[in-house]
Structure 1
């Protein structure tokens, strides 16, 4: 009697936050005895990105399996029998990420910081758009996001986009005053946060515009540094 193909072993999950998921496996069934038995091949399993969490800290990150966005190709031009394809960027920001951001805007500490940053050097609308993009990449459950994640994402956005170090120092000063005791822990959490994003910290201007267009009436999108009059 012929037996079926062996079950596919599940991908191993490493205990460290910095580990990545195992490569996808292609399992091929062996040819069954007998003249009429066809060769059975299993389909390849889609790749996943693994995000680890540490359950001992309220600020640590959740382990999820997030499918990588697949590229989409659209027809750009069509001339007789010739066709030119254009790769369309796939964004992964979901409505719940916008909801998390809006909820955190109501937090007293976040509100005080936005009022305190009157020059918008650390929190203009594009930097705040990047915060939402980072929330979508970090992989936490929506209820897990807290004010510290807002400041971690905003610090990272300034680190990516601003050449001036002053806005990042302003974030530290607002959170901890002149004390340096908590800064090493902040940098440790920032490292964990960016690693949970798969080191994908760059956000395109098109994605920022799309994030703002989701809810154009949100009051923070009026924080346009170019229109600021001092």
Structure 2
């Protein structure tokens, strides 16, 4: 209330005016000084060429996330894969692919990775899921797409009628994984290391004459 009255009344008739004005003036002066100091500090920070925390902290944070990466492949995914290896059609297909054009150890590792990402219960995985995952692995990693077409022969024989259904199921399988179809070499090696004595990990193209 005194500040409002002070703006309206001036002169010697108001004995408290001389007391109020210095306070207000000092306050404004301090605000100006504080503002000037803040601007100078910001200018000094901006004038520094490099901040040590810019690259180092972000790089360190990225590396920390990499070290804490969680392996989503669970033991049940390995077990269902081993169970499907005993399927007669799967066994026949793997025996046929002697040159490992469609089913080397890395492509088979991706099958397990896809099982873990699809989010199905272990008892839901059947023969068709093995071939869907293997077909998709060839989509992602192989330049020559012709050999994977032989998968249809083992599934449907000479009939072409069910191939559109296969591609529809493949699309649904990809959607169930949230389109996360990239599998790194490190992940494949981790999957193989879980059970290194499993016979399919001997399917190495580099060993073929």
- Pick the TM interval, shorter chain: 0.5 to 0.7
Shift of 1:175: 1.9
User: Structure 2 unaligned runs (5+)?
Assistant: 1-55
Q: For residues 106 and 185 of structure 1, what CA distance do their matches in structure 2 show?
A: 25
Q: Choose between structure 1 and 2: higher helix proportion.
A: 2
Q: For residues 173 and 103 of structure 1, what CA distance do their matches in structure 2 show?
A: 22
What does 1:115-194 align with in structure 2 at a 5 Å threshold?
A: 115-194=95-174
User: Structure 1 unaligned runs (5+)?
Assistant: 1-81
Q: Who wins on radius of gyration, i.e. which is larger?
A: 2
2:197 counterpart (204, 213, 217): 217
SS at structure 1 position matched to 2:188: helix
Q: Choose between structure 1 and 2: higher strand proportion.
A: 1
Q: For residues 147 and 105 of structure 2, what CA distance do their matches in structure 1 show?
A: 14
Contact 2:89–2:154 (CA under 8 A) maintained in structure 1: no
User: Does the alignment pair 1:208 with 2:188?
Assistant: yes
| TM-score with structure 1 setting the length | 0.62
Q: For residues 167 and 212 of structure 1, what CA distance do their matches in structure 2 show?
A: 24
Contact 1:158–1:167 (CA under 8 A) maintained in structure 2: no
SS at structure 2 position matched to 1:199: coil
What are the superposed Cα offsets for residues 35-62 of structure 1, whole Å, 9 maximum, x if unpaired? xxxxxxxxxxxxxxxxxxxxxxxxxxxx
What are the superposed Cα offsets for residues 86-132 of structure 1, whole Å, 9 maximum, x if unpaired? 13232210011001101111111111110011111000000000000
| TM-score with structure 2 setting the length | 0.68
Q: What is the root-mean-square deviation of aligned Cα atoms in Å? A: 1.4
SS at structure 1 position matched to 2:144: coil
SS at structure 1 position matched to 2:71: coil
**Counterpart in the other structure of 1:105:** 85
Shift of 1:167: 2.0
Higher RCO (CA 8 Å, separation ≥ 6 residues): 2
Q: For residues 70 and 97 of structure 2, what CA distance do their matches in structure 1 show?
A: 33
What does 1:4-19 align with in structure 2 at a 5 Å threshold?
A: none
Shift of 1:174: 2.3
Q: For residues 147 and 156 of structure 2, what CA distance do their matches in structure 1 show?
A: 14
Shift of 1:158: 0.3
User: Does the alignment pair 1:226 with 2:206?
Assistant: yes
